[in-house]
């Protein structure tokens, strides 16, 4: 799964990587971005429109859902189910990121790790989005578009930490993901082989909202 990520690169860099003119929203960077946050994403409001930056609520809520149960991840292998079909077919987006976090279950605790492509370049997380229409006015996602990060079976170094990982995209993959005429599975297949760098980080990360600073991504010795 993907339940936390970090973004410190200027979001405008990601728009340039995609060759689009789009002003990013303010105050969307951080070292410990968690579900329920307002995150930066690039998407097409309608399939025929140009990609643009937007601020999305991290937690997918279907348009018809009045209870507001938010799903932070969308499994790629569930894309054809009634729940996800429209989002994967028409409402795809990409989330700029510099790394993400996964937790490895050990005998005594869950050890967090940071992960990113080995080339160290900024990348995108594939996402799908929705526009809830049935939420109560006081729901924290009311009036916002909502997103889930797409996940797939973990490969390479990520598989040693967790059995799932986000669908990680380079700039070419992000452009293809935003083109809903290209099947989602084809994009995922083309982006499957990617070397990753992973390192253990401290458990201060575990308290979402309490800590958001550069020390969170400092490597530690997990054996200590």
Count of residues making up the chain: 224
Q: What pLDDT was estimated at residue 128?
A: 98
Neighbours of 67 (CB within 10 A): 9
- Phi and psi dihedrals of 81, rounded to 5? -75, 155
- Residue 53's domain comprises 5-217
Q: What pLDDT was estimated at residue 48?
A: 85
Neighbours of 6 (CB within 10 A): 22
Which parts of the chain register pLDDT below 70? 223-224
Specify the number of domains making up the chain. Answer: 1
Q: What pLDDT was estimated at residue 135?
A: 87
The model's pLDDT over 25-44, given as tens digits with 9 standing for 90+, comes to 888 999 999 999 999 999 99
> Is position 81 within any domain?
yes
> Is position 27 within any domain?
yes
Cα angle at 87 between 115 and 31, to 5 degrees? 25
Q: What pLDDT was estimated at residue 89?
A: 95
> Is position 222 within any domain?
no
DSSP β-ladder status, 38-43 and 30-33: unpaired
Q: Measure the CA–CA gap between 147 and 87, rounded to whole angstroms.
A: 10
- CATH number of the structural domain spanning residue 82: 3.90.1680.10
Q: What pLDDT was estimated at residue 209?
A: 78
Q: What pLDDT was estimated at residue 223?
A: 67
The model's pLDDT over 114-142, given as tens digits with 9 standing for 90+, comes to 999 999 888 999 999 999 988 888 888 88
CA 204 to chain centre: 21
- Answer whether 0.85 is exceeded by the pTM: yes
């Amino acid at each position: 799964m993907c339940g936390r990520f970090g973004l410190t690169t200027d979001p405008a860099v990601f728009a340039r990587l995609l060759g689009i003119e789009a002003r990013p929203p303010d105050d969307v960077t951080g070292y410990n971005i968690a579900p329920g946050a307002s995150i930066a994403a690039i998407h097409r409001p309608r399939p025929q429109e140009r990609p643009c930056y937007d601020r999305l609520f991290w937690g997918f809520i279907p348009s018809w859902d009045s209870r507001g149960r938010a799903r932070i991840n969308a499994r790629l292998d569930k894309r054809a189910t009634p729940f996800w079909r429209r989002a994967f077919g028409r409402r795809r987006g990409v989330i700029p990121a510099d790394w993400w976090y996964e937790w490895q279950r050990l005998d005594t605790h869950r050890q967090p790790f940071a992960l990113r492509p080995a080339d160290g370049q900024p990348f995108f997380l594939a996402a799908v989005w929705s526009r809830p229409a049935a939420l109560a006015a006081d729901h924290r996602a009311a009036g916002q578009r909502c997103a889930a990060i797409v996940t797939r079976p973990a490969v390479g170094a990520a598989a040693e930490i967790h059995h799932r990982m986000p669908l990680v995209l380079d700039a070419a993959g992000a452009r293809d993901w935003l083109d809903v005429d290209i099947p989602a599975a084809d994009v995922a297949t083309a982006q499957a082989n990617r070397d990753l760098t992973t390192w253990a980080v401290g458990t201060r990360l575990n308290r979402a909202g309490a800590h958001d600073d550069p020390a969170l991504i400092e490597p530690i010795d997990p054996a200590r």
